[in-house]
Structures are given as structure tokens and as C-alpha cells.
Chain A
């Protein structure tokens, strides 16, 4: 039951309107030979034929590097200024349902008791326009984690492509409604009788049971089975690529950049796959081998997120599978952990 209709060409007007103010319009764009979510300033830059962009759009909510404070040393003390995050209005056009779903996960971590306002202020101003998937690749497994190529959770507006190349627009949230009402001329009424493209079919992976994985990982004794984990993840070289592309990976470092006299304190993306990540100053490292680091990432997705943050740790986007240089496939481990 579509509430509005959006013509593809009218995106040009939408981009202009959003970008004419302080706003940032993000969408799928070509980078080399891959499609990425990137700022879009002209209609012609949008790519319409893509499956899942290489990156997630988390970098617009939780930037790869971000200044949190500036310090300067004077002769009578230190001047320390907190830096407020910039949070322009952001519109993400062409989000995928998996990516839209991941936003609630990031939020659950960044608001767990202490609220990281540089995250929330950005997210509170982001309008997510998701397009239902009409195609998939071998990496996609959203249905296995109980999502679907047309699940609307996390989206403000949910779009379905029509055969003639426009979009039927469902209004999902109040933020979406306000946005549509602001651009009355662009989102026209009706369109209910146009035909939409077929939604992709993403069958559930046989032999994977996320609930069973979650229960199994709750049992602390499975940590004693080091051979199992070492065997499953032996290939991993700890490059961290999977964490950077993953929409729910949230780990970061806090580091000072500058001299002892002047500089800035930054939050920088970090990865639990790096060997120094948990290294103590004493030299002790609780996760001293790669399989322990990989196990931590898996635990984070299927235990910490669901059990601790009551949200989804893995949205089945398949990015970590596509990007892994050694072909370590998380679904193979999921299968193994389901069958025990």
C-alpha cells in the first residue's frame, strides 16, 4: 500500500534541495569499479544498478575519525575544549534493508547507559530511504538472520522500484512523513496501480539456526574448545577488513594527535581483529591468538548484541564475506555452531 510515488528524475530536485542548505545527500556511487555509499551532489552520480555497496553507511553516523576535544598548553595551564559533533541533516538514498536494520544496533551500543551524543545527534537527523532488493549475490543471507529483502525496520521511507523505473514510497516513521511533506512536489500522491519489480529471493541457509547459535554461545564452556575455534578460523590473517565494512562493528580507539603543546583527541575506528587491541601495558594479552580475536567478533555478533544490547549483531549483509582476503565465510562458522 504505497502512499507516495517518486519519479527517478525527481531525485535531481531532491538532491538540490537537500544540498542547498547544510544537508548531506548520501547514496550509491561508483568508486573505482565498486559501488560505495558516498556523498552525492548531482543526480548523475547515483548508481541504480547495485546489490550491496562495499561499505555500510555507518561512517556517516560514526565517522572513521572524529575530533572529540582540542587541547593547548599555556604557561598557566591547559586549555581543553570539547568539540561538538557536526550533525547536518543527512539523507541516505538507496539504503538496503540490512543496512537500515543495523542502525538500531549501533544505537543500542552508543546509548547503553552513557549516551554518545556525537552518534545520537547525527542519527536523529538522518532520513533513511531504503530500496527493497530486487537482486542478491552469494554473500547475502539476510533471511537467515530473520530479515528480508523487503523488511522495513530502521527505514524512514521504504521504496520499491517500479517497472517503469520510479519508486513506490511507503512512509515508515514520523521523520519520514515530515520529510515527504516537506517535499510535497517531489513525492506525489498515489501510484498504487503501477507494477513493481520482483523482490529478490534470499533463501534461508540450510543448517543455520541463529537462535541455536545464540543459546550455544551462552554456554561459557565452549571457550574450552580451542581446537574447534582454531580450526574454523585458521585462515584469518587479522587484517580487520571485515570489521571496517561491517555495519554493526563499533569498536574504536581514543588517541591524541599532535604535540605535547597542542593537538586534538580523536575517536578512531579500531578492530577487535588487531593483535594490539587488547594488549595490556604489562605485555599480557587476553586474546593473544587470532582465533580468539575472531571468536570475539563472532561472540559480539551472536551473543553480546542480542543478549546484552537486545539488538541484532549481524544483519546478513555479507560484506565480511565479500571483503575477506582469505575467504573466511562467517556463514560456514554459523553452520558449524548450529550443528553442535
Chain B
């Protein structure tokens, strides 16, 4: 039997500078067999290694509908992410995964989807967005509300432009008050406030929301006021992880192990958890 902690080797094929301190890597498995057979679902995560520094956990930010590579987006804040950020195209890193559960996209056929993301919360949502866009015929209206502290902090700027131009997506962008630039065309205001103004109807709709915990808290409150059922609101939880496979004992929120039973939860499930966030 195999060593569950042994990563695959992946090559950095491309690098995108997304925002200050935020980078994306396009990664390709060195092993052809792994490359050809690797599969995952939107919402799952992996552990990425900078050898010598260690491992760090991020979601798979690409869509499972795009084969042959994976993408991750991360902010350099710690030792491992800083070491990862020091690398260049052609360098090798480690990857273990996919781990965790996923967004039940299969069950959303025929529904409208509203994506709400804040800051560096867009990467996990992006995987779902592209998954839905690549199977566009399965869904009704698709709306995206994305906000960041300031204009420069918005990630995936090229894709935001593309989504903005597409007639089959309703994209609303916002920055926190004071974060706008003279050229800024989007809204100014916090995500929950902008959401309240948009006043989406709750009927036949699924919401996917990721971002800072405080944003998620208020977004869920606003959605509640707008009549959304907690079972139709999906989000992801984050915690410090080391093993990713339910052994190292640190990712739990009360009795819920985020690495195994998460990271995707409905708002209803989160309300059932121990207050251990």
C-alpha cells in the first residue's frame, strides 16, 4: 500500500501575478499517468509543497472540466507560501490531493446560481464558476458578485473582464469604501451591503459564497432576510491543516474535520456546528 503523505511532483507551467502578494500557478503533473488520470471536483483542495519549507493548503482553483493541468492561487503570508512564491516557471513543487468534499453541482441542474466572493475567496468559487460556464446549458441565470478591499486586490482581473463582457453572466464588482481608483467603474461598498441593494430573489436559486469569515457571516444574514433557505447557501470553511486526510488532528471545528467532511458546507450545516471558529 502506498504512502498517503507522499506528494506527486508537478511543474510550474505558467505564473500569473493576480494582485499584490497573490499569485496563481498553472501546474502539470510530471508523471504522465497521473496527468492523464487526475480528476477532482470543484471545491476540493490539495497540499502544495515547497521542498525544504513544507506544505500549504489551498483549493484547486481551476475547473475539473479543464483537463491536463491544475491551478492554484495563493497569497504569500507564511513560510511555505513565501517559499512557493519564490519559484519560477519550470520549477517543481509537490502536490497531494484532491482531498475533501465538493460542491454538489450535479444537483443544481436547471437552477439559477449566484456566486458571492470576497478578496482571496474567489479562487474556490472560480472553480465552480468555470465548471458551470463550461456546462452552461445546465443552469439558469448566472450572477457573480465579487468584492475586494481595493481595486488592486481584485484577483483574476482578465477573467473578470471576460465575464463582464459575456452576455450570459451578470457580474457585479465592488470595492470597499476608499479602495476605489478614479477609473473604477464598479460599485463602492462592502459585499453584504451591495448584495442587499441587488436584492436577488430566492426562488430556484443556489448561492455559492467564499471570502473572509466576517463577510460570509453578514452575507448569510442578508440572504436570510431576502428569504434564502440556509440549505441553498454553500460556502467553504478554512482551518489550519497538515495532513489533509483526517489524522493530524488540527483542522476540526468541534467534531467536524474540515479536511475530511469539508471544506464545503451549507449555511444550515455551519449553524449546527460547535462555536470553534
Contacts and interface: CB of A to CB of B under 8 A. Distances in A.
Given A82-B6, A113-B260, A260 B52 contact: yes
A253 B247 contact: no
Contact of A69 (B3, B213, B254, B275): B3
Given A80-B94, A220-B273, A267-B5, A281 B247 contact: no
Interface string B230-250: 000000001110110111111
A223 B52 contact: no
A210 B240 CA distance: 30
B275 A82 contact: no
Given A77-B92, A117-B4, A281-B77, A263 B247 contact: no
A224 to B, nearest CB: 6
Interface stretch (A25-33, A132-140, A270-278, A329-337): A270-278
A338 interface: no
Contact of A73 (B3, B51, B77, B213): B51
Nearest to A262: B52
19 contacts: A77-B30, A83-B3, A109-B246, A114-B246, A118-B3, A220-B254, A223-B274, A252-B247, A254-B5, A255-B54, A259-B52, A265-B5, A265-B51, A265-B54, A270-B249, A278-B240, A279-B240, A280-B238, A299-B255
B53 interface: yes
A115 B51 contact: no
B1 interface: yes
Interface stretch (A52-60, A161-169, A301-309, A319-327): A301-309
A284 B277 CA distance: 9
B77 A78 contact: no
B2 interface: yes
B78 interface: yes
Nearest to B80: A281
Interface string A63-85: 00000110101000110101110
Contacts of A112: 246-247, 260
A279 B240 CA distance: 7
Interface residues of B, number: 46
Nearest to B56: A281
Interface residues of A, number: 55
Interface string B264-275: 000000001111
A82 B3 contact: yes
A281 B120 CA distance: 14
**5 closest Cβ pairs, A-B complex:** A251-B249, A260-B52, A114-B245, A281-B78, A82-B6
Contacts of B274: 220, 223
Nearest to B238: A280
Given A78-B9, A278-B240, A304-B252, A254 B276 contact: no
Contacts of B238: 280
A278 B250 contact: yes
A112 B259 CA distance: 12
Contacts of A292: 276
A113 B246 contact: yes
A280 B52 contact: no
Nearest to A260: B52
A68 B240 CA distance: 20
A303 B245 CA distance: 19
